[in-house]
Structure 1
């Protein structure tokens, strides 16, 4: 997950126009925060809510949302200093810190993927997957996949990667293959799991279940708002005001069903699918003290470092201090 493994080409083509249907921001006396996101990612739902309701200006900041074509492009732009904030995971932040980049994060969402099977499937527990065809999104180093493998090894002495037929692929393709019956089970990102749930699938094992089974005491954010530590420390009130705007948007999305109806075109869902996406999003809103979550993330880091090795975490065997922004722990 280190940036050294990522391609730097085509960055100019990756950065697209200001997103979410809002006009370009005009002159403003408020501090501006440039946030880079995936064009069709779930983070855009929250940022749209912030902009639509003016929650950034209410909190004395001006959020400028920039769309990117892929995660690699947002990471490169962050490291190049072209953005103030992106969304990524604590594994990437820790690796960058270990390699000299002073990035840090604020928890964004605890929503994670799960192994999904059809409602009438005979599969009920991990040992039932022996000899079955499993689709896995995110590749062999996806942290949800590694955690589920770790749980299978710990509880059942089962090497899923060897004792099942694994098919890696893009999340939309694997969702389609699951719906067409080409897979016995599929591990996908949380929002694809929610859409499958609306189509008659159920969770077999979630990555959150695996995390608890491997030592976490509660939900751990899969993603966080990532920024440079020196920028946040020098502009602490600005950074905290952005986080306050995010929290207010989450509170609105947690309480208002009409807000989800407004977002339906952006979410690209309606009816039962929209309801499940809404409910799973709400379940993923972080609720724990940051210091507690950080402790659990550090435990899981060591598990993941053992399972994924240097390809996943680099040479550091423990999560880098400061991965979670210290100001939030105060």
Structure 2
């Protein structure tokens, strides 16, 4: 199916002014795009918004959501050719490109983790973390942890990995231990941080703060929609239509509190938690030109390569060209 971009825009506009007519607008032979995601991951919020509001049909495609139990499983399925799109970070995409895969990504979210402490905690800065029990989600090579360690070393001469009592664990478990007071501080993924924020915690320092301090000029997408360049080249209209459907969903989630109330059962949050998650999600919507994000990601890549070494990035010391989908720069 070959649809021009002008036609796609026209379909999207008609859908916007006549949402009840979307079914009629969608072609029964619309290209299907298989998107692999974690069963309870935050990406489901956007995909649910796309499907519920039929933004995929309005753009001439059909999004099929395929659920997986873990990130490794989605990565394997992507590399095996069983999926068209997954969500991952640019470090993984760059490493795969350096090793011969033709993966590329379109920015999904700039939301990143942060070190959280209780509102009443005496911890006010990085130096106060020395000797404290710190929970870290994502493992020793988590990029948020590496960036914050890099900043601690540069600005304070502190090796948090050695001078803090660091424990690694699953995000839900670490949040529970932080709430119970078993941890002095916790570095968790953004949505767990938001839930903690709604329950008496505050941000000490975010990975985004560390990234800017280390040279980024603005927010950099931590995650992106990942697909094969060959697939995008062979299906340019479908690939761009998926990006447009994503943008429409983000716009709705950015502007509509009612949509968030509808999503509450999917988000599994109510009241204050839902509001904080909504606000932090909105802050993470990418708004910068792709070229700017790409330049900053390349700077951060070199820093992370130094901090994480070959275990993190493989043999490549610079971000692979084409990690960010070039079509979005035109």
TM > 0.5 between the two?
Answer: yes
The residue that corresponds to 2:150 in the other structure is 150
Instruction: Quote how far apart the aligned CAs of 1:126 are.
Output: 0.3
SS at 2:136 equivalent: strand
SS at 2:67 equivalent: strand
| TM superposition score normalised by structure 2 | 0.92
Q: Deviations over 1:128-178 (max 9, x none)?
A: 101000000000000000000001011111100000100100000000000
Instruction: Quote how far apart the aligned CAs of 1:235 are.
Output: 1.1
The residue that corresponds to 1:291 in the other structure is 291
Q: Counterparts of 1:305 and 1:157 in 2: how far apart (Å)? A: 20
Please tell me whether residue 274 in structure 1 is matched to residue 274 in structure 2.
yes
Instruction: Quote how far apart the aligned CAs of 1:234 are.
Output: 1.7
Q: Counterparts of 1:28 and 1:304 in 2: how far apart (Å)? A: 46
Q: Deviations over 1:294-326 (max 9, x none)?
A: 000000000000000000000000000000001
Q: Counterparts of 1:235 and 1:127 in 2: how far apart (Å)? A: 51
Q: Counterparts of 1:236 and 1:157 in 2: how far apart (Å)? A: 49
Q: Counterparts of 2:31 and 2:268 in 1: how far apart (Å)? A: 32
SS at 1:72 equivalent: helix
Superposed counterparts of 1:119-268, under 5 Å: 119-268=119-268
The residue that corresponds to 2:11 in the other structure is none
Q: Counterparts of 1:303 and 1:83 in 2: how far apart (Å)? A: 31
The residue that corresponds to 1:108 in the other structure is 108
Q: Counterparts of 1:125 and 1:79 in 2: how far apart (Å)? A: 42
The residue that corresponds to 2:55 in the other structure is 55
Q: Counterparts of 1:233 and 1:175 in 2: how far apart (Å)? A: 42
Instruction: Quote how far apart the aligned CAs of 1:28 are.
Output: 3.0
Q: Counterparts of 2:154 and 2:218 in 1: how far apart (Å)? A: 19
The residue that corresponds to 1:19 in the other structure is none
SS at 1:324 equivalent: coil
The residue that corresponds to 2:66 in the other structure is 66
SS at 1:66 equivalent: strand
Structure 2 unmatched runs, 5+:
1-26
Q: Counterparts of 1:106 and 1:157 in 2: how far apart (Å)? A: 36
Runs of 4 or more above 6 Å deviation: none
Instruction: Quote how far apart the aligned CAs of 1:327 are.
Output: 0.3
Q: Counterparts of 1:88 and 1:293 in 2: how far apart (Å)? A: 16
Q: Counterparts of 2:123 and 2:312 in 1: how far apart (Å)? A: 30
Structure 1 unmatched runs, 5+:
1-26
Q: Deviations over 1:64-110 (max 9, x none)?
A: 00100100000000000000000000000000000000000000000
The residue that corresponds to 1:304 in the other structure is 304
Instruction: Quote how far apart the aligned CAs of 1:120 are.
Output: 1.0
Q: Counterparts of 2:60 and 2:294 in 1: how far apart (Å)? A: 28
Q: How many residues align?
A: 304
Q: Deviations over 1:186-237 (max 9, x none)?
A: 0000000000000000000000000001100000000000000011012111
Q: Counterparts of 1:195 and 1:298 in 2: how far apart (Å)? A: 31
SS at 2:281 equivalent: helix
SS at 1:35 equivalent: strand
Q: Deviations over 1:35-71 (max 9, x none)?
A: 0000000000000000001000101111000100100
SS at 2:124 equivalent: coil
SS at 1:94 equivalent: helix
Please tell me whether residue 76 in structure 1 is matched to residue 80 in structure 2.
no
Deviates more, 1:27-36 or 1:80-89: 27-36
Cα RMSD between the aligned structures? Answer: 0.7
Deviates more, 1:229-238 or 1:287-296: 229-238
The residue that corresponds to 1:16 in the other structure is none
